[in-house]
Structure formats: C-alpha cells, structure tokens
Amino acid sequence: MAAGQRNKHKTGRAGKNRRTGRIIGAVGALSLGICGTVPAGNADPLANISRNTYGMPGLIDMPTAEVRPDGEFAIPFTWIDGNTQRNNLTFQISPRITVAFRYSRVPDLLRKNGTPTALYDRSFDVHWAFLDEGKYLPSMAIGLRDFIGTGVYSGEYVVATKSVTPKLRATAGIGWGRLGSFGSHSGWGTRPSYDYSSNGGNLNDNAWFKGDWAPFFGLSYQLNDKWTLKAEYSSDDYVKERQLADFDRRTPFNFAANYHANDYLDLQMFYLYGEKVGFQFSLNIDPKKPTFPSGTEAAPLPVKPRPSPSADPEGWSGAWVSDPTAQPAIQQSLAAALGKEGIILEGMSLTKTTANLRVRNTIYRAEPEAVGRAARIATRALPSSVDTIVITPVSQGMALSSLTFRRSDLEQMADTNSYDMLERVKITDAKPDPKAMPTLTAYPRFLWGLSPYTAVSLFDPNEPFKMDVGAELSARYEAAPGLVLSGSLRQKVAGNIGNNPEHLTTNTPHVRSDSAFYSSHGDLTINSLQAAWYAKPGDNIYSRVTVGLLERMYGGVSGEVLWKPVDSRLALGLETDWVKQRAYDQRFDFLDYSTVTGFASAYYDFGKGYMGELDVGRYLARDWGATFTFNRTFENGWKVGAFATLTDMSSTDFGEGSFDKGIMISIPITWATGKPTLSSINATIRPLLRDGGAMVNVDGRLYDTVNTAHTGELYDGWGRFWR
Amino acid sequence: MTIPMYRKLALATLVSLTVLAGCGNDDITNASGRYFLDLGKGIAGSVKQIGQKPVARKQPDPELVASSAMKLNKGPLLLLSMENTGYIAPLGMTGETGGMRTWFTPHKLSVITRNGMLAGTRGFAYDLMSADTQATERLIRARRAGSASLILRHLDGLGRERPMILTCQTRIGKEISYPFIGKTWHGTAVAERCEANGMAIDNSFVVASDGTILLSRQWGGPQLGYITLQMIRP
C-alpha cells in the first residue's frame, strides 16, 4: 500500500492528523532511507571522525564545523601532561546540535594560602552546525564553549570546514574569548575578565562574541578507516596557564593522531604547543545501535483463527453467555496464559460480542508488544461470537487507554506490517467498565528483591569521585488495584561519600546540601517506606497520594493530579507535598525543618521524541520559582535531558553555581541485554548540590506512569506489536 | 581516595554484585543486578577462552533430527537450518491462518511462513518482523520466470519496523530428485536473485508439481542470513 493511498483513509480529527504524520513518516520516509541512495541536492551536516580535547567535533584544541552521529552519547576523557584533565560528556541532541558537559582539572590555577592548587571546573558547551557543505560552500558552525560557569575555558567561535578531497578536510575560523587570545585583533565591546571569586553558574552572555578575536585553522586527514591525522594552528594563548602554572607555549601548532578502534572506542594522542603530550580515550554509545534490536524474548503464540460456524455452532451463536461458569473459566485460562508471558490480567468484561481485557504489562519496555501478545492470546481463548477485542493497559490500578481491535483484522493481518494494523486499531481513553470482573488471583501481590546499589558523588574539589556500595532490600505489597505499600532498606558495605561532611555556611535552610551527613550513616537506613494510592477520578484525570517516608531526606504527604488525554501533546498537573526533614540516621526520627512545596506543571510533547516540562511553584527551601526541563526520548526508551531551575533565592544565598541545573540519562536495560524488562539505569548529574530549587524525590509520579500507554509512546513502539 | 579504600571498595562491589544479583521475585529491582552478573559471566567466559583453540561443534545429522521429530509430532513438520549460527532444529506447526503458518522449534523460537515463503521469525534477536512475499510467491510456485518485488521488514535500533524493498528475478532450473527420511522428493529448481542498491542475494527453491515448496534457502535479513526450510511432513 503506497503512502498516498493510506492518506485517503484518514478522518479530520486533530488527534488522527498527528498519527497520520507518524505513520507516513515512519513508513514512507524510512523506506527511502533504508535502501535508497541520498538523492542529489540533499545536504547533510559533515560527520566528524575524531574529537578535539574538549570532546566536541574538532581538531585538537580548536573546533570544526562537523557533527557527531545524531543521538550519539559519549564520554571522552582527555589527559594532558602535567595532569590537566578534561572529562567530557557529549550528546548529539539533534542532527546539527552538539552539547557537552565537562569537568576539568587545570593545575595550579588557584592559590590556597600561597601554594598553587588545581582548579576543578564544570562547564557546558553548545555547538550548532548551521550550514551544510555544498559544492563550493564550506560547512559552517557557531559555538559557545563554557557558556555557563566560572569561565576558565570560555570562548565563542564561528568556524568553516571544507572537504578538499574525500580524505582531507580544511578548517578555518574565528574565535573570541579564550579562542581569541593568540594573534588577536581588537573586536567590539569589552569582555569582562574571569572572576575567580564569583559564584559562577550564570550565563555569561554579557561576554559572548565581545572583546578580541583571533583566527585559527587546521587540517584533518583520514589515512584509512582506523587512523586520522590532524594538525592545527591554535588561537588559544593559554594566558592563565602561562601566568600561574608551569606552561610554556612554544609554538601555536598542535598535532594529533586518532585511532578508531571500533564503533565504541576511539584513542587519540596529541602533541600540544611544542611542549606537552596528551591522550584521549573516548567511549561512544549510539542509542540507535542496541545489542539485540528485536530482543531475545520467547516467540509469541500465534493468533488462532476461529473455526467455521458449522464446526462451532455454540461458540458462534453466543449461547455460552447464559452459562454463569463461562466467563470465570475463560478468565482463568486467559489469566494463566497471559501470566506466562509477563502480563497480568487484572480484570475482564465479556459480552456475546465484546471482550475488554484490563492488562498490566510487567516486562515489555514497549507497551505495544504487551498489547499485541494480549490480543493474540485473546484470540486463542475467546468464544467465536466475540468479534471485538479491547485491550486496556493498566498501571498502578489506573486504566490508561483502550485499544479496540476487530477480531477479523487480527486474524487476517497477523504477522504482517505492524503499521497496517496501527491504522485499523482505535485508541481511546479508557472509560470506566462497571461490568468488568476482577481476576481474583491478580491481587494482593507481594514482590521483594535484594540487590546491590551504588551511589556516586562527583565534583567535590577535594575528592572529585566518591562512591558508596551496599545492599538494598526492597519490598512491594499491592493490596488492591491502585493501593501499594512499599519500602526499601539499605545497608552500606563500603564507601566514602559520607566522610568528613560539612555544613554549608549559607543562611538558607539546608534542604539538600547536608546530603553528605545522610551518606555518613549507612547501617540499615530506611530509604523509603510509604503507602501510595492511585486513582482515576475522571476521564483523562489521574491522581496520586503518597504518605510516609518518601525519600531518604524527607517524609510526609505528597498529592498529585494530572490531566492527560490519550492523544494530547499537552498535559497539565498539580502537585503539593507537605514534608518534614528526616534525621540523618534515616530511621524514624525527624529534624525540625518542615515545609510545604507545591507546583503547577505543564508537559509538552513536541514530537520526534522531544519533550519539555515547566514546573512553577514553591521549592523545599521555601523559594519560589520555575524549573525548565527538556529531554529527548528515543523510540527504544533511551532518554537524555537537561534541566535548570531559577528561583527567587539570590545567587549569593545559593552559593557557588548560582542556580540548580543538571542533566539526566536513562538507559533501558533491555537495550543492552535484549531480555525483556522494565528496568532502567537512571542517573541525574548535577554540577553542584545546593539548596535552591530543590524538589522532593517522590517515587511514581504520574506523567511517566501514564505516558507509556498513550498515543505518543504507543506509536513509537508500534513496530513491536506483532513481536 | 587512599589505595586500601580503593581495594576495599572494588572487592565490596564485586562481592555485592555477584552475591546479590538476582535475589527475590521483583524483576524491576533485580534486572540491573542480573545484567552486571551476566556481563561478568560473559567477560569471564571470553577470558577463559583466550589462547584456547575453538572447538568444532558437532553438527547434528538432519536425517536423525527429522526422524525423531516425526515420532514425537504428528502434524506438519519442517526442518530449520540457520547458516549463520549452524542452528538445526525441527519446526512443528502451532497455528495456521489462511496460508500463514506459525512454526515453533523445541527452544521456543518461531518461524512464520506464507505458503512456504519465509514471512517472519521470532526470538532470533534480529528477527524478520514481516515480509510481503505475495508477488514473488506467485512466480515461484507457478515455476515461472519473471520479475517481482519483495519487501522485508526488520526492527531498527529504535524499535521501528523498517522495510527493505528488493527487486527479484526468478529463473527456472532443472528437475531435481533427492532422498530424505526414506522418501524420494521430486521438484523443479527455481532460483531467485533479489537486488537492492548494489546488494544482491540469492534465494533457491525446489517446487513440487502442485506448487508446494519442498525445500528452500531464503534470506532473512543482513544479520539473520540464509535460512533453509526443508519439508518433513506437509
């Protein structure tokens, strides 16, 4: 079926238009992409082969107008003789924009009682390749290096790169700030000088593209598919290093050789300024290349077509409906079959022609895979007169959506192109189903687990990498749909995060900065102990109330309400938490500090995996403000994002860093192992842990719980429906 | 960090990860522990193999596999052979809708055929999700030379089902007879060459006079490779 024909079947509903775009996009564009050569005139950003010392697309210290593969996430570690370190984390957030977060060590730049000590600095970069290379035009990019933060690497640039031959690329550009310090010409405006005593953390936008500028240029030559050689003329004069540290810049020329060991690993060696040798070790992860793309879960049972009416007159006539033992028997066998595939049948309503199965997915990362398997099993157990099968995914006892299938479609289209089935299914909000009979074996349910945990603390200048390891015992008792009691207990085995904790000298309440005091207690600490109640008070409205020890630092009550229609890009929520700060030993005692926090939140799905969130309200230190979060979710569940919170807490009160910000990464474990599981590795990295803009870390917030079975995620994962 | 602390931490991490990975019935808590345990086992396994000569795996005899399957299973049977991995197993039919048949191996891996044409696999990690084989099937089963298109779909790294469109030419070959499990099978050889942008693959079939595909070697995708399906019992 051609893409054009598909279009004609669509109705005009707003929700459907979004789906049209997705289906046509998914099938039409991709069929071109997979097997067609790129049509002439279709430009692409220039792909970078090896990075610079800052982990960004570039030569050695200088940038180039190249980009990394879209979606690639990497950790390049650079070490330069004298123990200068640039530990970078880079992410190609879109085909043209590269961002980086860096933790650097610059030796001897600080003085502590007269003796030189190293400066540890956090910085963020952004790089935008705005022009693609053409026949005569070079590719061009503009970038900001170290644009928030105390500015030791601050610089801006505009750069152009041209492929002279397929293997040789030439780059030339202009830099400002640190990149305009050697061979400089005066520019416009004055650039404020680097202020060691400042709290940093602010956008230093009053400095961008101001002050002296200088040219830089270089060459990269790809010897073969493993080796690349580079040479550059650097406009970075290393002013501070020459003044304060033992750095002698003998020449502006730098050289490097990069070895591309495999898709995941690059090794590089540099010779800098005629003086220093450096190395880089870079780990690249492309979320679009999982180990086992279709997963290794066992094959699903085949759809069973109905026997002919002559072979099964009772089934087709519907006479079985009058038998009161019919539904319980069918429900029991369905629950057993679904249970074997990791799906819990929470309830079912059954009439002569329609079955509505309320199912909870416990292992498949993509909800459509659970829906597809439930639909297959339904065709194997339901009597022949049932010709409409509705699958209602449920989470925490709340029905999230309803997917209505015609049984004849399932029979005729089994194991064909999954997107053909996507056109035939009706996805709607889950209406209350009073006729549903609960499956008695589904509740209560008790789960427990004993596993290791790790906690990492970074960026303390005295000890940049600290880690704790221990054991965690967790348990979960699901008393009824939507009513969950859960808790976890931790025992630290070894670690140094809690060594020598210190109180900050700020005069704001220490709502988060005393974290090290909590870490210093490790014996049988109660990480959480709470009761949660989830409900669906109305169409498209979900609610949650959680009571107890909500996280290791706070206990109290948290309440949340979320409005999210099944096919809406926008969701709105309200949350309020009344909490008291827990005692450092994390048992049942509390400290004196208590407060109420509250937020109004808006979530917006921009499409193509980009999501934004705005939370406005009152934070733990009684400061008022807003948090902006932006993340990119890939169809396979990888999520990378960043957030920043601005509140009315003054930057002097906040302290170093000026405002709370950080990045988060979530990697689904099934991406690496292929085995079906909902589990994921989640990390939130904050350059600094301070007391402004702090929120309570409550488990099980509504948006992520509800979103898994709404049209955005259902469409993204629909390729697995027949899996 | 002082050195003794490093060692203590490293030992503690190893100990806690290995001892605690996988206790309890809560999959969500245990999955990351189990992942590291599996990772550790994988690394230990490959470390053990360093310097050892790879042991040639004994290939099971297809005739034996087929005849023992015939004793256990009275329904339609196929013999599956995956060239990439050397996996040989019987396929028993578990479901049939129209011409689509779903077959399972004893290891719960599944193959889906449409009138004998490979239409899908499940459980092989780089599964063929679906295939539009109707056009090429018409030529092959009718033993006619000609041109038709074949669409194979796989999941990409992001979980999207992506089509690969191949243009195929069929050529008719000689009459073939071969012995298998005590019978002699007769059919016509049909060769199919499929191309897509510089890449070419060759599928081959032995088609009986009534159009049934008795034996075939079909390509399932770049990672899946060639799959041979041999009819044991129709």
d(CA B153, CA B165): 9
Which residues of A are less than 8 Å from B35 in CB distance? 669, 672-673
Find the CB nearest A303 among B23, B95, B153: B95
User: For residues B151 and A119, which has the higher predicted lDDT (pLDDT)?
Assistant: B151
Query: Which pTM does this prediction carry?
Result: 0.77
Q: Is the pLDDT of residue A532 over 70?
A: yes
Distance from CA of A685 to the nearest CA of B (A): 19
Which residues of B are less than 8 Å from A719 in CB distance? 129, 155, 159-162
Q: What is the pLDDT of residues A457-490, one digit of tens each?
A: 877 777 777 888 888 999 999 999 999 999 999 9
d(CA A151, CA A146): 6
Distance from CA of A84 to the nearest CA of B (A): 19
Q: What percent of chain A has pLDDT over 70?
A: 92
Distance from CA of A339 to the nearest CA of B (A): 14
B contact residues 130-169, partner A, Cβ 8 Å cutoff: 130, 132, 153-165
Q: Confirm whether the ipTM is greater than 0.85.
A: no
d(CA B101, CA A599): 55
Residue A23 pLDDT: 39
Q: What is the pLDDT of residues A109-121, one digit of tens each?
A: 888 888 888 888 8
Contact (Cβ atoms closer than 8 angstroms) between residue A366 and residue A720: yes
Q: What is the pLDDT of residues A637-673, one digit of tens each?
A: 889 999 999 999 887 777 776 788 888 988 888 777 7
In what helix (H) or strand (E) does residue A177 lie, and over which residues does it extend? strand A168-177
A293 touches chain B (CB under 8 A): yes
Q: Which of A344, A363, A376, A415 to mutate: most B Cβ within 10 Å?
A: A415
- Would you place residue B7 in the very low, low, confident or very high pLDDT band (cuts 50, 70, 90)? low
Residue A5 pLDDT: 36
Find the CB nearest B35 among A496, A672, A678: A672
Residue A14 pLDDT: 40
Q: Is the pLDDT of residue A34 over 50?
A: no
d(CA A207, CA A198): 15
Least confident of A149-158, A213-222, A584-593: A149-158
Q: Is A416 within 8 Å of B130 when comparing Cβ atoms?
A: yes
- Would you place residue A149 in the very low, low, confident or very high pLDDT band (cuts 50, 70, 90)? low
Which residues of A are less than 8 Å from B165 in CB distance? 31, 35
A contact residues 389-428, partner B, Cβ 8 Å cutoff: 411-412, 414-419
Residue B44 pLDDT: 64
Q: What is the pLDDT of residues A300-327, one digit of tens each?
A: 999 999 999 999 898 899 889 999 999 9
A674 touches chain B (CB under 8 A): yes
- Would you place residue A219 in the very low, low, confident or very high pLDDT band (cuts 50, 70, 90)? very high
Which of B216, B207, B211 has its CA nearest to residue B186? B207
Contact (Cβ atoms closer than 8 angstroms) between residue A201 and residue A659: yes
Q: Is A716 within 8 Å of B15 when comparing Cβ atoms?
A: no
User: For residues A634 and A223, which has the higher predicted lDDT (pLDDT)?
Assistant: A223
The encoded tokens of residue A433 equal: 């189903």
Residue B32 pLDDT: 60
DSSP-derived 3-state class of residue A437: strand
Residues in chain B: 234
| Chain B residue closest in CA terms to A608 | B158
Residue A18 pLDDT: 43
The encoded tokens of residue A468 equal: 């704790």
Which residues touch A480 (CB under 8 Å, ≥6 apart)? Answer: A397, A443, A444
Q: At what angle do helices A326-340 and A367-381 cross, to 10 degrees?
A: 140
- Would you place residue A225 in the very low, low, confident or very high pLDDT band (cuts 50, 70, 90)? confident
